[in-house]
Amino acid sequence: MSMKNVKKILVLIDGSTHSFKALNMAIQIAKFSESEIVCFHVAENPKGYAFDQIKIVKHELFESGKKYLKKAKTIVEKNDLPFADDITMGEPSQYIIEYAKKIKPYMIVMGTRGLGGVKEFFLGSVSHYVSNKSPFPVLLVK
C-alpha cells in the first residue's frame, strides 16, 4: 500500500482519561483498517489573565499539549502503528474541523468528556460540535 493512500484516523487528545480511551479505541480500529494514527491537540487560548501573564500561560498550555502528544506517541508506537501528530492553539471546535478537512481522515475518534467541571462542559460542547459539523465519520468514546 503506498503511503499516499494510507487511511488516517484522527484522534483528538486533550490530556483527559476519555481522550486516551479514544486513542485506545482508535488503535484497535487502526490494526484492522491498516490506518495511521494522527493525534491532534488544540491548546485553548487562555482567557481572564493579565496581559503580561498571557505569554507565560500560552507557553504552559502548549507544553502540556506536547506532553499529551508524547504520551500518545509512546502508546501508538508500542502497538507498531504509524503515528503523526500536530498541535495548535486556538478555539478547539473550529480548528478540529479545519484540520480534519486538511488531512481527510478515514474517521475522527474523540472522547465525549474532557477534563471535568467547566472544562467538561466546554469539551462536551466540542464533541457535540465536531460530531455535527464534521464531513467525516466521528466515533465518540466514553
pTM of the model: 0.88
pLDDT in the model for residue 25: 98
* Cα first-last separation, the chain: 33
pLDDT in the model for residue 123: 46
Phi-psi category of 48—alpha, beta or left, where left has phi over 0 and alpha has psi -120 to 50?
left
pLDDT in the model for residue 125: 84
pLDDT in the model for residue 124: 60
pLDDT in the model for residue 5: 61
Please answer whether residues 59 and 43 qualify as being in contact, where contact means their C-beta atoms are separated by less than 8 angstroms.
no
The grid cell for 140 is 465518540
pLDDT in the model for residue 46: 86
3-115+128-141 placed in CATH 3.40.640.10 = no
User: How far apart are the C-alpha atoms of 127 and 138, rounded to whole Å?
Assistant: 9
pLDDT in the model for residue 1: 39
Q: Which residues contact 79 (CB under 8 A, 6 or more apart)?
A: 27, 30, 31
pLDDT means per 10 residues in the chain (142 residues)? 69 95 98 95 88 89 97 98 97 95 97 59 74 95 90
User: How far apart are the C-alpha atoms of 31 and 45, rounded to whole Å?
Assistant: 35
Domain ranges for the chain:
3-115+128-141
Q: Which residues contact 73 (CB under 8 A, 6 or more apart)?
A: 39, 83, 85
DSSP line for 93-140: HHHHHHHHHHH--SEEEEES--SSHHHHHHHHHHHHHHHHH-SS-EEE
